[in-house]
Amino acid sequence: MVSMLPSLMNTISTMILGTIYSVIANKLTYWENHRTISEYNNALVVKLFAFQFVNNYTSLF
């Protein structure tokens, strides 16, 4: 059980940080005041992808 603790903590922290950042990314993208919905969505997707990529693959290094 103890040997699984670091993996469990990594999984939980990844999920919590992902949830927190998606709220932050939505607010930041809203404040950018894009002209169209597609510009808004594109900016949001870039932010979410960049963070999720780093958040999910940091544990490999």
Tens of pLDDT, residues 4-55? 898 899 999 999 999 999 999 999 999 999 999 999 999 999 999 999 999 9
Query: Is there a contact between 23 and 51 (Cβ–Cβ < 8 Å)?
Result: no
Distances from the Cα of 54 to the Cαs of 22, 33, 37, in angstroms? 14, 26, 26
Distances from the Cα of 6 to the Cαs of 2, 9, 44, 59, in angstroms? 8, 5, 31, 10
- Pairwise CA distance, residues 41 & 26, whole Å: 10
* Sign of the C-alpha dihedral computed for residues 20, 24, 22 and 27 taken in this order: positive
Which pTM was predicted? Answer: 0.81
